[in-house]
């Protein structure tokens, strides 16, 4: 990579709109497109998304679980998706939420971020709830290979607050994630760029960023905000939730766009409408 992930993401968000289109081939969506819920249907669904999204959006986020459910054949489809999007020059964020310790975390990092990875995404979602520093193998490897991470910080599921809003030594757990990412993004911040260690903060968490006193601007973190559109996030709620950090937010939308399928032209049209709403 000639540029770190954060710089490439910042450029892509300016060139297009701050939108990440999801590829979530779960059974209901695949069948709603008139496809069979098997490997053939998965492949048709996923490659139709690639055709519609490539070159038209800042980033694309395949959800690994919906490919893994079909075993090695599903993973082969996922690898093709990642490869074709990379060849088209479109950033990819693999939503796999990996998290572990020691040699196991190192192996996860090598699988998705390493120089010998089969079909590496540009960034990977990771879970820090064994402690932020448990992610160190992935953080260090991402820096070496020019890739990025999105660390779960504030999720929109009701159970999330019981962990993420908890405190230790006077600091919120979510705040420790912001602090950790900020320290790892210090070099990018000094260059006036977004860092490559981002955070996942749901588009529907309401006032939590403000209530917990999270300084996203000072941490120079890109924010991946899932939940836009069908899950309740709006342009106004994004602005209210993230305030002065709004320009760092990559809004993720899946169902809002995918419901327009199966024709690629309809997906392109819906992608354009969502993108336009985020430019206003």
Q: What is the pLDDT of residues 195-228, one digit of tens each?
A: 999 999 999 888 999 999 999 998 899 999 998 7
The H-or-E segment that residue 139 falls in is helix 136-145
> What is the predicted pLDDT for the residue at 234?
83
| Distance separating the N- and C-terminal Cα atoms of the chain | 32
Cα 56 from Cα 146, distance rounded (Å): 22
Low-confidence ranges of the chain (pLDDT < 70): 1, 229-232, 280
Residues 110 and 142: beta-carbon distance below 8 Å: no
Residues 72 and 79: beta-carbon distance below 8 Å: no
Residue among 213, 212, 201, 208 at smallest CA distance from 249: 201
HSE of 193, CA atoms in CB hemisphere, 13 A? 19
> What is the predicted pLDDT for the residue at 15?
95
Q: What is the DSSP letter of 247?
A: G
The H-or-E segment that residue 182 falls in is helix 173-184
Give the CA dihedral 206, 210, 212, 217, nearest 10 degrees: 120
Cα 268 from Cα 54, distance rounded (Å): 10
List the domain range (segments joined by +) for residue 266: 5-279
Q: What is the DSSP letter of 256?
A: H
Cα 30 from Cα 8, distance rounded (Å): 32
97 flagged as catalytic: yes
Q: What is the pLDDT of residues 236-269, one digit of tens each?
A: 889 889 999 999 999 999 999 999 999 999 999 9
- Apex 253 CA angle, 126 and 87, nearest 5: 70
Residue of 97, 136, 165, 255 marked catalytic: 97
> What is the predicted pLDDT for the residue at 230?
63
pTM of the model: 0.96
Cα 25 from Cα 84, distance rounded (Å): 17
What Rg do the C-alpha atoms of the chain give, in angstroms? 18
Name the token pair of 217: 């601007």
Q: What is the CATH number of the domain that holds 140?
A: 3.20.20.70
Cα 141 from Cα 131, distance rounded (Å): 18
> What is the predicted pLDDT for the residue at 280?
66
- Apex 152 CA angle, 207 and 147, nearest 5: 125
Name the token pair of 125: 């979602």
Give the torsion sign (CA, 44, 46, 48, 50): negative
Tell me how many domains the chain contains: 1
């Amino acid at each position: 990579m000639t540029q770190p992930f954060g710089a490439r993401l910042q450029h892509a968000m300016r060139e297009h709109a701050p939108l990440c289109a999801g590829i979530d081939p779960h059974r209901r969506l695949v069948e709603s497109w008139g496809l069979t819920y098997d490997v053939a249907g998965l492949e048709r669904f996923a490659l139709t998304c690639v055709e519609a999204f490539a070159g038209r959006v800042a980033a694309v986020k395949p959800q690994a679980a919906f490919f893994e459910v079909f075993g090695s054949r599903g993973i082969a489809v996922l690898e093709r998706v990642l490869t074709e999007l990379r060849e088209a020059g479109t950033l990819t964020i693999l939503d796999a939420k990996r998290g572990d310790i020691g040699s196991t975390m190192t192996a996860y990092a090598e699988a998705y971020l390493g120089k010998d990875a089969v079909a590496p995404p540009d960034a990977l979602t990771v879970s820090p709830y064994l402690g932020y520093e448990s992610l160190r193998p992935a953080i260090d490897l991402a820096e070496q290979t020019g890739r990025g991470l999105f660390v779960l910080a504030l999720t929109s599921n009701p159970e999330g607050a019981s962990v993420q809003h908890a405190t230790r030594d006077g600091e919120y757990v979510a705040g420790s994630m912001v602090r950790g990412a900020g320290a790892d993004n210090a070099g990018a911040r000094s260059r006036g760029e977004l860092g490559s260690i981002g955070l996942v903060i749901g588009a529907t968490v309401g006032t939590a960023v403000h209530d917990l006193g999270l300084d996203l601007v000072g941490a120079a973190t890109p924010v991946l905000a899932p939940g836009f559109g069908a899950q309740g996030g709006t342009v106004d709620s994004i602005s209210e939730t993230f305030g002065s950090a709004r320009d760092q937010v990559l809004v993720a939308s899946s169902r809002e766009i995918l419901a327009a399928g199966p024709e690629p032209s309809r997906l392109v049209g819906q992608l354009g409408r969502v993108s336009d709403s985020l430019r206003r």
